Structure 1
Amino acid sequence: MRNDLSVAFAGASLSPVASRAASLLEEAADLLVVHLDFAAAADRCEKGCQSLLGDLENEDSGSSEELRCSLCIVGIQALAEMNRWREVLPWVLQYYQVPAHLPPKVLELCILLHSKVKEPLVMLDVGSNWLRASANQHMPTYGLLVQLYLFHVLLPLGRFAEARDLVEGCKALSKEQRLEARRAIKEKRRQWSQQADKHPDPKEQADMAWKTQLGSVSQKVLTTLAQLGRALGCLAGQLGSIPYKKALFAAFLLFLVVVKLDPASPTSLPFLYRLTQLFHQARSAVFSSHCRSPVQG
């Protein structure tokens, strides 16, 4: 691995900073592939990218740019091997600032990585920003990245309208590629429709469960209110023969039931049942002399 990298940068006139970064890249590649020391490989890539931050401002920064891209690729692989894929995108963007500046190879690797861990949503905005940048649309690999973004980000997320717009508006795709993309969108939409029929949306299921529960609650409320009606019916027949304070107390209880309580709320049921019992007890205690049948002598 060291020899391959040495040959790759042998013809380039490297600055002292770039030479140091190239040495760190060689170490990182050996640690990753030969020694399987992923943490050490990621550390070398971190140091190499940090050392290049100032060198990238030089006039001849082409080699430094290639080195930074290579260091990021090795670093991404090292982080992925340690299952630290959540750190990949923030780590890369600290050296490229904005998604549109990512090298095509780095973006490709990020899309494939997040697709593999089934987290395509992470790349939704990043990929969209990169593809919309006019400077990127003239790159030879632009069509490939459009296809990767389509198949590994948009379609898994069910973004069919965005997928259709991307395909129809991309001049980098050939006629055959555009036709294949249309078929893929149509098939994926059909699969989503079938899956939605088999497994309804959780929100819709919750609404249906609530409606079923509400129907049961309403039946209980009607039963309770019927009991209250019978109790108040007996009470109303006696209002003319009871003191004023007792009539006022009965009116107050009726006000609580009708105005202050929401009968459709399940939390009201225990109170309604208790109130019904209190009515029966009050009727027995207060109006027993009026409701009791005359004693036969």
Structure 2
Amino acid sequence: GSPPAAAMRSEPLVQAASLLEEATDLLVLHRDFAAAVERCEAGCDSLGPGTGPERCERLSEEVKCSLCVVGIQALAEMNRWREVLSWVLQYYHVPEHLPPKVLELCILLYSKVRDPQVMLEVGSSWLTDQTNKSLPEYGSLLELYLLHVLLPLGRFEGAEELVRGCDVFDSQQQLAFLGTICESRCQWAQQEEMHLAAEEQQDAATESVLGALSQKLLTMLTLLRRALRSMSSHFYLFPYKKMLLATFLLYLVVVRLDPASPTSLPFIYKLVQLFRQAWAAVFSPIHRPPIQD
């Protein structure tokens, strides 16, 4: 005869548990991360939507969560951490349904790779869900989200609102977290000030170098003007303009300015201005000889 209905319902669970064991061995013992991910995917697919008794449902969710945990670790080992969140959500569909352990791993992973922005909306959706607020892990996950997502991103007002609106924390815990947020805000402001000071110092150094180069160019062009004026009575038809332009271009080559570099733009702009001033001084109407280009 046909197998009992209970046995048929437990078959996917047994298969998924077997795949979980294989995936764990591949991850830990054999270090075959790609194969471990394949087993995890097969296990999650075999479970499908839960329609069995409550006990089977609970076991199924535990196995599914464990498969995702192993899969996350395997993806991270292959440096495929960017795929982790989308990979997990294909089995849980919305952030609110993520198991606490999976959410914890995702927060820690994206914090470690310095990309907490990925978890900003996901964590917020999970923490504002009424069903999740009754879970025993809610307080620890809120703290994790606060320390590894909101504060590193400078979301201080959102962090304060989250702490004040949390019923899980008592008044003493709330004060402690608000103190942590205040301290983090001060550190953030200090870092901003240091960053601005460093930028100002760099700008001052750039201006100093630019001034030295400008002075060098003016000295060179002054000497050139004297030489040209001393020769003007003998060589009226000499192409002064081309000579001065060639000297200017040679100077650009000597100082090795890189036109592709953004830092070279103010140098070139000021050198052009100085060139125009020197040109006007050299060939003023009083000393200007007849020039033929």
Normalising by structure 2, report the TM-score.
0.65
Match of 2:283 in 1: 281
* Cα distance in 1 between the residues matched to 2:186 and 2:109: 26
State the one-letter code of the partner of 1:193. A
Match of 2:170 in 1: 174
* Cα distance in 1 between the residues matched to 2:272 and 2:34: 63
Match of 2:15 in 1: 20
Match of 2:115 in 1: 119
Cα deviation, residue 142, structure 1? 1.4
* Cα distance in 2 between the residues matched to 1:89 and 1:67: 19
Larger Rg: 1
Secondary structure of 1:50's match? helix
Distance 1:285 1:31, change over 3 A: closer
Secondary structure of 2:283's match? helix
Secondary structure of 1:158's match? coil
Distance 1:273 1:132, change over 3 A: same
Stretches (4+) displaced over 6 A: 211-218
> Which residues of structure 2 form unaligned runs of 5+?
1-5, 219-265
Listed one character per residue, the Cα deviations across residues 90-118 of structure 1 (whole Å, up to 9, x for unaligned) are: 21112122212211111011112223333
Residues 131 and 137 of structure 1 are in contact (CA less than 8 Å); yes or no, is this contact kept in structure 2? yes
Residues 45 and 75 of structure 1 are in contact (CA less than 8 Å); yes or no, is this contact kept in structure 2? yes
* Cα distance in 2 between the residues matched to 1:165 and 1:45: 38
Distance 1:216 1:26, change over 3 A: closer
Q: 1:56 aligns with which of 49, 58, 62?
A: 49
Residues 150 and 158 of structure 2 are in contact (CA less than 8 Å); yes or no, is this contact kept in structure 1? yes
Match of 1:155 in 2: 151
State the one-letter code of the partner of 2:67. L
Cα deviation, residue 214, structure 1? 7.6
* Pairs within 5 Å for 1:36-185: 36-52=31-47, 55-56=48-49, 58-60=51-53, 62=57, 63-185=59-181
Residues 50 and 60 of structure 2 are in contact (CA less than 8 Å); yes or no, is this contact kept in structure 1? no
Distance 1:13 1:206, change over 3 A: same
Distance 1:132 1:269, change over 3 A: same
Cα deviation, residue 84, structure 1? 2.8
* Cα distance in 2 between the residues matched to 1:208 and 1:72: 49
Secondary structure of 1:172's match? coil
CA RMSD after TM alignment = 3.6
* Pairs within 5 Å for 1:185-264: 185-197=181-193, 199-201=194-196, 206=199
* Cα distance in 2 between the residues matched to 1:91 and 1:135: 23
* Cα distance in 2 between the residues matched to 1:147 and 1:134: 17
State the one-letter code of the partner of 2:144. L
Residues 89 and 110 of structure 1 are in contact (CA less than 8 Å); yes or no, is this contact kept in structure 2? yes
Cα deviation, residue 72, structure 1? 0.3
> Which residues of structure 1 form unaligned runs of 5+?
1-10, 225-264, 288-297
* Cα distance in 1 between the residues matched to 2:185 and 2:155: 9
Tell me the matched-pair count. Answer: 233
* Cα distance in 2 between the residues matched to 1:276 and 1:78: 66
Cα deviation, residue 149, structure 1? 0.7
Distance 1:22 1:144, change over 3 A: same
Match of 1:260 in 2: none
Residues 75 and 84 of structure 2 are in contact (CA less than 8 Å); yes or no, is this contact kept in structure 1? yes
State the one-letter code of the partner of 1:157. L
Residues 49 and 68 of structure 1 are in contact (CA less than 8 Å); yes or no, is this contact kept in structure 2? yes
Listed one character per residue, the Cα deviations across residues 177-220 of structure 1 (whole Å, up to 9, x for unaligned) are: 212212211222233333334x224xx755776688689989x8
* Cα distance in 1 between the residues matched to 2:88 and 2:45: 11
State the one-letter code of the partner of 2:32. D
Residues 127 and 133 of structure 2 are in contact (CA less than 8 Å); yes or no, is this contact kept in structure 1? yes
| Percent pairwise identity | 50
